[in-house]
Amino acid sequence: MQARIPKTAVLATLVALLAPALSQAYEHATDLPTVTTALSPLPKFPVPDVASLKTKSAKLVDEDAFREKDVWGRIRSGYAIPDVSNDLVAKHVNWYATRPDYIARTTARASLYLFHVVSELEKRGMPTELALLPFIESAFNPNALSSANAAGMWQFVPGTGRDFNLKQDAFKDERRGILASTDAALTYLQRLYDMFGDWQLALAAYNWGEGSVQKAIKRNQAAGKPTDFESLADLMPAETRNYVPKLQAVKNIVANPQQYGLNLPVIDNSPYFTAVDKTSDIDLTVAAHLAELSVDEFKALNPQFKRPVITGDDQTKILLPKENAEKFHLNLAQWTKELSTWSTHKITSARESIRTLASRFHTSPEVIRQANNIPQNSVLKAGSTILVPKISASVGDIAPDVAESATVSYEAERASGKTAKGYKLPKASKSDKSSPVSLVKARVARDSNSKKHRKAN
């Protein structure tokens, strides 16, 4: 027997369906002819607040993002840059597809940072395939350093880094920092998109410089030619000409890795790290110990810190895996020793040799050289500010202005007849044979695949 639907249910359904139309008619009742028959007024439905609708919509977007179990899925669903299909794309797809070990190392490193990068892109409404750009820039190695001195996961040269407020001093290089460099890179990319109105040209400008792209556009305009990326490609250096096709190749692989015989590691769709406030100077080794991490594990999330001690104002934060952040707070509460064992000393005379300084501060010359990256067979120049061990518990933290202005200059010993220009960081190793960093979710090899030269504008 067929079930009978109650009349009350039918009426309720009709009312629900007709309510919006009736409400609209009621709102515009003043525009209708006057009727003589008295009608009972219809209930006036509340008009929803636009701001609240936007808030609810944003919450729904956030909820949708977390429905994906894997970060790769979030990236795929947010692809928004027009595809490129040419011989260069095919060439680069083949290069990646035939190097599964390289893909495994790079995606293992990426597993620490991708959730954060994708989340930041979604907040800004930017195409999520931009999260794959460090794949091209640095193989997701925040310690990568190019021959043009472009540093970090996003490969900022010093000048462009300063343009985007990335601090670079003797103690810190925020071009390597995960939070600061990602924020700067996305801000820069958005600015370039606003300038050119085209993501492919924005990417070309990120690699080649906006001035160079603008000149190429004007040249094609003068010749009556199109000004899209592929039409300008012949005017670009080889690196920039290959830049967008490389990103497209990685997009294709991420979209369907099985098609190319590759497997991507599962990256949980949840934050890998959290930020912890630093309230005073703390030795890098002490911070790692309190978090129950190896020094290499700690550095993988905090590569911006260049010295044995982490200095800075109250805004300085350290990143830790979520479970280790809890351990850090518990261990810190029970810590009874000094958090920092370092202070600074300014060289006022050439007579202050490293050997005499080592004796004065109860350490060895090698410790001072290593802490300050001073080469062998070199002497410090007057005016240098160096790290030295604390010799008294009364010595306080390193003042922020000292950390920001500190420089280390040295010259070769007279016997060699050579003079160094000053303090210079050693370049990151380009070998994949360096020791891997063992992390909770991945083994992160600390090799550098940086190879690019970007012009700063």
Q: What is the pLDDT of residues 372-427, one digit of tens each?
A: 999 998 899 999 999 999 998 889 999 989 998 999 998 888 754 444 444 343 44
The separation between CA 120 and the C-alpha centre of its own chain, rounded to angstroms, equals 9
What pLDDT shows up at residue 49?
53
The mean pLDDT value of the chain amounts to 83
Q: Which amino acid is at 319?
A: L
Q: Provide the annotated active-site residues.
A: 137
DSSP annotation string for 371-424: HHTPPTTEEEPTT-EEEEE---TT--PPPHHHHHH----EEE-GGGT----S--
Average pLDDT over residues 42-51: 44
- Please give, one letter per residue, the 3-state secondary structure of 283-341: EHHHHHHHCCCCHHHHHHHCCCECCCEECCCCCCEEEEEHHHHHHHHHHHHHCCCCCCC
Please state which of the four CATH numbers 3.40.50.1980, 1.10.530.10, 1.10.1060.10, 3.10.130.10 is assigned to the domain occupying 70-260: 1.10.530.10
Most confident stretch, 5-19, 67-81, 153-167: 153-167
What pLDDT shows up at residue 313?
73
> Percentage of the chain surpassing pLDDT 90?
70
What pLDDT shows up at residue 285?
98
CB 420 within 8 A of CB 375: yes
Does position 247 have pLDDT exceeding 50, yes or no? yes
Architecture per CATH, domain 342-416, reads as Roll (3.10)
Average pLDDT over residues 344-360: 92
CB 392 within 8 A of CB 337: no
Q: DSSP state, 173?
A: B
What pLDDT shows up at residue 346?
95
Domain boundaries, the chain: 70-260, 273-334, 342-416
What pLDDT shows up at residue 199?
98
